[in-house]
Each structure stands twice: as C-alpha cells, then as structure tokens.
Structure 1
Amino acid sequence: MESTTYEVNLLLGRLCIQLISEVPLSVTDEIRTFCTDTGQADITVYVRVMKQKFRLPQRMVGEDLLLEYYYENGYFLAAAKRGTKGSAAVTVYTPDFSEIVFYLNEEEFPGMIRRVSKILQLFPVRQVLAKYQALVLHSSRILTGGKAVIFTAPSQTGKTTQARLWNQYTDAEIVSNDRALIQKEERTFYTTGYPVDGSDPVYSSRKLLPGAVVVLRQGVENQVERLTIRKALKYLMEQTVADIWNAEEIGILQNLWLDFMEAYPVYLLTCTADRRAVLCMKEQLMKDGVIPYGVN
C-alpha cells in the first residue's frame, strides 16, 4: 500500500527526521512502519524541485556507491551519481545539519525520487546517524530471552540462515534480516530495525536491548570464540555501513563500538548451517549470562 503526503516524520531509533516537501511524497508500507506523529524533529529536511542544474565543485571530498560528496563555502553537497543525465538528486547541508535541502531533479527524472524510501537512499543519512550516536550494521537479529542477538557477516555468509535456524529450533523471533540500527542513549544501547532490510525484509521499529553480537564464519564444525576488543572492532567496522572517506564519522563509529563492547560481548561463531550451530551458540550465551537458562 502507498499513500502521498507533503510532510513525513521518520523515527530511526530515537532520531526523528522531518521531511517537508513542496511536492507530494509517496509513503510505502516499509517506511510507514517508521513514521511517527509525535515528538519534536531532531533535523528538518526541506524537499525542493531543482530550478536549474547544479554546478558541482570540481574536486570531490569522497564518494560511495550512490553518492558523490563535495564541500564548498561552508556547505556539503551530496549528489547522486550521474549516468547520461544529471544527478537525480542533490542534498545541500551544513556540517551540523542545521540547514538541509534535498533537491529533486524532476526535469530529467520526473516522479522517480518522490518515494520517501528513495529519498532516504540518496540522502547522507549515515552522517546524520553518527552525529546522533547511531550506526547501521549489516546484520540479522533475533529476539530471544528478552534480548536481541545480532548476527553479522559479509553477504552470503549465513546471517539469514542462522536467524531462521534459531526461529525454527527455539522460540526466537526474527526482527531484522539484513540491517539493524544500533544507538547509544546516555549509557545504554538499543537496537531497532531499519527501513532498508534486504531481499526478504522484516520491518520492525521496536527498541530492543542488545544481548550480544555474533560474527559468523562458515565451517565444518561449530566453535565459539569470545573476541578481544581489538579483533572484534575489526570485524564490526567491516560490516558497519559507513562513509570511509569521512574521518570524523569513522572516529565516532569506532568510539561507539568501543563503548558497546564495554557492556556487551562479541563472539566469532564458526558454524554449520544446521541445528548444531544453534545449540553451540545458545549454550555459550547461557553460560555467559546473555540469555537465561531455560529459554526454549
């Protein structure tokens, strides 16, 4: 289902992003899960139609798969990468996000970028999240024993498989499939879903207390190792969605993980794709007090 509106308030963890548009925006079911009508916005994004093509600075300061980043006269510009046409969208914003305008290239891409999910994709959201002590991790999550256990690994390594095995053989509920938001609030961390969640999405905006992060590696036998902070930080940063060109952002994310690991364990699970992996990891989690004994 889809609806249209001129104003949308998105709640990502505790971060409220308000979109105020001069053209109607499309809200699909996955986005509606994260919409809110309460609370004051932390940042406001004004959505405007380009009146003319942008003259982008000659030198980029960074890029990712979708965006090119520039800096000029006190403003960042995040421009969608161009093909034969111009940029589909350009975001102009101050480093502290006090001013943000998202410009749509309606002339060359009529109606294409009006979906809120598309705006979120072409918006420098990772920088905003870092400013508000949050990060996005490539991961699947299960809820078991009242805690979120987070499985992370490179694509096609078995995140979804392990989550499904826990769901099949225990009372665990799958609450994310491909990405999760982890956010620090004062001295406590919470985890929620994220509007982008892979090919088999599970959209959940519930705030859950984390129990542990489990880094997965395929193997012929099942073995659990509790990682040192140094080893864990390497694995976690590899699967954290980040702008690697942005040293300030990377520093914030590293510090967030260091704070996280003061309270929550990170394991490396070498595993098979069957019930034995569940039993192996579950035994370790109960032994370490992450989940209580007696959980099905």
Structure 2
Amino acid sequence: MVSKYYSLAGLILRVDSETPIENSDRFEEFYAPQGSADITVTVVNGKLPQKSGEPLYKSLGRETYSENGCIKLYSSYYRPDYWTDYACRETVDGRVTLCIDYEQGLWDSMLFNALNIPGILAQKGVFLLHSSFVIHNGEALIFSGEKGAGKSTQAALWNSRFGDVIVNGDRSLLKFENSVLTAYGTPYCGSSRIALNKNAPVRAIVMLDKGDENIIEKLSGIEAFGKISAQLSYEKNQTGILSDFVSRICGQTDIYNMKCLPDISAVTALEEILWQV
C-alpha cells in the first residue's frame, strides 16, 4: 500500500492504495504532508462487487445501491456505443473502500471522480458550489448561477479592477468554520484552470443572470434556498443534510440576484451595495 494525503476545506483526506496515484494538473496545492486524517479511503484493484441490493438512484455514469447497511456507488466511463463500469465505492459505517477495475493506472482526478468527493465531503458538512470565487478586502465574494451566466467573467472583472485573487473560476467549497460560512478553493475548476488552495469568510453569494443593465436584488426565503440548492453538488441520499446546510446559509449570509452587464459597471454597482463605497 502507498499513502497519499490531500487537504480539502481544512480537512485531511488520506488515501491508501495498492496502486501508486499519479499527479494530476491543478492538484499540487492540495497535497498534504503525512499525518492524522479526517477521512481515510482504501483503494483496491480487482473485479468490482456484484450489483445487488436496493437500487437507490441512477444518473449518467453513476448507479447507487444499498445492501445490508452498505452503500455502493458505481462509476462508469463511455466507450464507443456503451458505458462500462470501472469503480465501485463502498461505504459502511463511515468506512470507505474503493475498488478499481481499470488497467491504465490511477491518477488524482480519476480517483476524485470515482470517489465522488463532493458526496464524501458533504457527510463532513462541506459542500461543493458551482461558482467562481475571488477574495476582496479579505472576504470571499462568490458568483454562482447556471452555466454561461458569467461567473468567470465577473471574477475576471474584479481581478482586473482591484487585483483581487481569483481562487477558483468554476467551483468553491463551502463550510461553517466556527459558525462563519467560509469558502475554500478546490482542485475542481472546469475550463478556468484556476485552482488555488486559499480560503476566506464569505461576504456574499451573488446569483448571476445576464441582463441589459445592472439590477441587484437581495434574496431571502424560498427563492434564495432554491437558487443555492440548485448549484450545490450532493448525493440523492443527502437531501436532509443539504437542506439543513442551505437553510443555515440563507439564515446568516447575504444572497443576491444580479442581472448584469459583462463590464466594469457591474463591479461598481455590486461594490456600492456590499461595501457601501
């Protein structure tokens, strides 16, 4: 067995694997030194366990079953004309084992996909949000919304205007640290290829829409809950902890809907509201 350690949202993930885990791009900042771990995963090679038990849910490239207290998550990849399973994550009483049936090796991004890391982190109170993330005046400004809403564009504008650090252009990890909602970087970064391991307390979450002018409205209640929930990654059996987490966000975090132009005027409009300049 070889061991590899990762740092994610202040938690240490230890992976013990029969196969060496090759480095992937953008993961370098998230490697951690050996030591105690908050999450431990054992990776073995061989034939995948049989699909049995109660089917829980199925999505593109994923199938989940429950059997005698064991949750089995199968992952597959697409070959010409068909999907083939390559991994099965088994979780029993918090213990996680990953079986890999793939002869071409193992690397960071493949490992994280097979484990469905967002689902594992959610059990620890950490959720992955589809969003860009900049640090302004020591606080995290989160831009979220549907694909194409302008998340990376708005982050780039704040970087251009103030020199703000773009921590991630596509994903953020959120958790409550000493009762304060805090944003963390993640190696998941989409096409932005920006993935820094930095964190900051959240000043606001801004849900983006394209518009012909800059219109900013504060959200609350069911509208805020729905918009935030739609952009979080979780597993279908985690709706309870998801609901509690989003309710807590809505209760103590400023959430805005922003229809905006893709230019510096959007930065000025939002800065005036958030920092009252």
Q: TM-score, normalised by structure 2?
A: 0.92
Q: 1:20 aligns with which of 3, 8, 16?
A: 16
Q: Secondary structure at the match of 1:181?
A: strand
Which residue is 2:28 aligned to? 32
1:147-196, Cα deviation, whole Å (9 max, x unpaired): 01000010111001111111112232211100000011341222111111
Structure 1 position 155 matched with structure 2 position 147 = yes
Partners of 1:123 and 1:141 in 2: CA distance: 24
Which residue is 2:258 aligned to? 269
Q: Count the aligned residue pairs.
A: 274
Matches within 5 A, 1:44-83: 44-50=40-46, 52-57=47-52, 59-81=54-76
Which residue is 1:88 aligned to? 86
Q: Percent identity?
A: 26
Structure 1 position 111 matched with structure 2 position 99 = no
Listed as ranges, the gaps of 5+ residues in structure 1 are 288-292
Which residue is 1:187 aligned to? 179
> 1:53: how far off?
4.3
Which residue is 1:178 aligned to? 170
CA contact (8 A) 1:66 1:122 kept: no
Sort the Cα spacing of 1:116 and 1:82 in 2 relative to 1 into closer, same or farther, 3 A.
Answer: closer
Matches within 5 A, 1:216-235: 216-235=208-227
- Structure 1 stretches of at least 4 aligned residues deviating more than 6 Å after TM superposition: none
Which residue is 1:134 aligned to? 126
Q: Secondary structure at the match of 1:150?
A: strand
**Residue 234 of structure 1 aligns to which amino acid in structure 2?**
G
Partners of 1:120 and 1:270 in 2: CA distance: 34
CA contact (8 A) 2:61 2:77 kept: no
Q: Secondary structure at the match of 1:60?
A: strand
Partners of 1:72 and 1:11 in 2: CA distance: 31
1:88-126, Cα deviation, whole Å (9 max, x unpaired): 1111111x42x2211110xxx3124x0021111111323
Partners of 1:53 and 1:257 in 2: CA distance: 35
Partners of 1:122 and 1:192 in 2: CA distance: 22
> 1:14: how far off?
2.1
**Residue 54 of structure 1 aligns to which amino acid in structure 2?**
P
Which residue is 1:290 aligned to? none
Q: Cα RMSD (Å) of the superposition?
A: 1.8
1:247-283, Cα deviation, whole Å (9 max, x unpaired): xx12212211222233320011110111111111111
Structure 1 position 42 matched with structure 2 position 11 = no
Which residue is 1:210 aligned to? 202
Q: TM-score, normalised by structure 1?
A: 0.87
Question: If each structure's strand is expressed as a fraction of its own residues, which one has the higher value?
Answer: 2
CA contact (8 A) 2:90 2:96 kept: yes
Q: 1:281 aligns with which of 261, 270, 273?
A: 270
**Residue 62 of structure 1 aligns to which amino acid in structure 2?**
Y
> 1:218: how far off?
0.7
